[in-house]
Amino acid sequence: MLLRNFFILLSATLLNSALIAQRSKLEKSFKSFPYLGTEMGFLGFKGDQSTIPVKSGQLVSGVNFGYSYYRVKAEICYRWGYLSYNQPSVLKPENFRAQFNGTSLQIKTNLLEIGESHSITPFASLGVGILNYSSFTDKMDESGNTYYFWADGSIRDQPQLNQYDETAKEIKRDYKYESPLAINQKALLIPVSIGFQTSLSRSLILQGKWENYFLQADNIDRNTITPQWDRIQSFTIGITYQFLRKINTNQAIKSDFVSTPPPPQVDYSQVNFDEILNGDEDLDGIPDKIDNCFGTPKNAKVDEHGCIIDADSDGIPDYKDKELNTPINTWTNKDGISLTDDEIQKNYNDSISYFSSTLRKVSKNSKPYSVVKYTSDESKLQYAKMLDEHPEWKTKEISRKKLLPIEFKEIDINADFYLSIEELNFAANLLFDGKSKSLTPQILQNAIDYVFKEQ
């Protein structure tokens, strides 16, 4: 019956929580707040010889006061309750009843953000505290007669001896627990718990929790034969009230409870879909949907794919080509006109100044620069052959140590007397980060000018 009522309550709570979750955006500003809670549930016990499952009839109650900061909560917990146990043995039916109260400081963390996109939020907690307890057992009846347990299963007022066979009277156990076992004892308490919580309203939270109390005590149930700490378990249901700041009701209505207006209706009656599907933006006669070359110049001849035609394949499109029938593999100028041998030689001579700097870098008589590693072996052989044919291109061997100014010594990291682009970048980072004592903006600027003008 109890479980059925619990599940009915849980089902109703889940439905309500789905509605409460719609206000999650407004709650984002309330990440830190105090709270007060109360809870009640059932207890279980694990001792040296007695094991009591969590069940009704063994109750625990508690109050909590804490402070929440985002997903982490720090709370002070006070618990009180009682345990009772009767050993099902004919020869030695021991029993006890323990009353306790305890105070602990616990740190609890939500494993998910409550109310964000889900109605149930799991949590876990760990703490430390002190447990006060007193244990009693039932050894005598109301008249003060001590219980003696006979082998036939009866309880009598005299021990099982031959001289008492006729005089011993049967008595009944009254379960008054009048005899003390451990009075006003204290023990270290380490509570560990897991559970769930869900919103009932903006400020009310329902939570269910399974908690395990590890105790530094071994005599709650009077049995200390095995050196093992006693443990108390509990399952509780509780309500927590969060002291949240008030919110602007008008803001809440505007932000959460007014549906978004429908998008404006668009009139497509004036749209020419044929023009969109068969448009030709560059007016080359090829529809855009099959045009592979957009932006064709006006009046330029194109093929079936919308790309400019170059009939003689000289690299100059026909609309710019002033010589449409250039022979294959013939050198041309920018207008597509064939070049004579003298024009080719002149262009070659003009380009020597550009190639000579690269040729010097692979010369046998010149100190190689770092760019050599980017030059293929075939190119090196070709350049070497050309240098043999033109000795005037070669440079004389000069010590680069004498050429590199001393002020650039810090920039020349690999000490090869050559400043590379990477070394300039590294020097700039040192300067901007303030990690160099001798490097100045003027020295860096002089180094850049040296690389691009003299080196």
Per-position pLDDT tens, the chain of length 455: 434 444 444 454 444 544 444 444 444 445 788 999 999 998 888 876 567 666 555 888 999 999 988 888 999 999 999 888 777 655 566 788 888 999 999 999 988 764 444 578 899 999 999 999 998 888 888 888 888 888 888 888 888 888 888 888 888 888 888 888 888 889 999 999 999 988 888 889 999 999 999 888 877 776 656 667 888 889 999 999 998 876 554 544 444 444 566 777 767 677 677 777 778 888 888 888 788 888 888 888 888 888 888 888 888 888 888 888 888 878 888 888 888 877 777 766 655 544 554 444 444 344 444 344 445 667 667 777 777 777 766 554 444 555 788 888 888 888 878 888 888 888 888 888 888 778 888 888 888 888 877 76
Query: What is the C-alpha separation between 245 and 241, in angstroms, rounded?
Result: 13
pTM above threshold 0.85: no
Amino acid at 1: M
* All domains of the chain in start order, with CATH: 2-137+177-252 (2.40.160.20), 139-174 (no CATH), 341-398 (no CATH), 399-455 (no CATH)
Q: What is the pLDDT of residue 319?
A: 84
Query: What is the C-alpha separation between 179 and 263, in angstroms, rounded?
Result: 80
Query: What is the C-alpha separation between 193 and 316, in angstroms, rounded?
Result: 81
Cα angle vertex 383, ends 379, 384, to 5°?
115
Amino acid at 225: I
Residue 234 CA, chain-centre distance (Å), reads 33
Read off the tokens for 224.
């200390």
* Cβ neighbours of residue 128 closer than 8 Å, sequence gap 6 or more: 104, 105, 188, 189, 190, 191
Query: Residue 20 burial (CB < 10 Å; 0-12/13-18/19+)?
Result: buried
Query: What is the C-alpha separation between 431 and 453, in angstroms, rounded?
Result: 22
Read off the tokens for 240.
């927590």
Query: Residue 431 burial (CB < 10 Å; 0-12/13-18/19+)?
Result: middle
Q: What is the pLDDT of residue 425?
A: 86
C-alpha atoms less than 13 angstroms from C-alpha of 8 in its C-beta half-sphere? 5
Query: What is the C-alpha separation between 288 and 276, in angstroms, rounded?
Result: 9
Query: What is the C-alpha separation between 242 and 245, in angstroms, rounded?
Result: 9
Amino acid at 404: L
Q: What is the pLDDT of residue 203?
A: 86
Query: What is the C-alpha separation between 428 and 290, in angstroms, rounded?
Result: 50
In degrees and rounded to multiples of 5, residue 425 shows phi and psi of -60, -40
Q: What is the pLDDT of residue 412?
A: 86
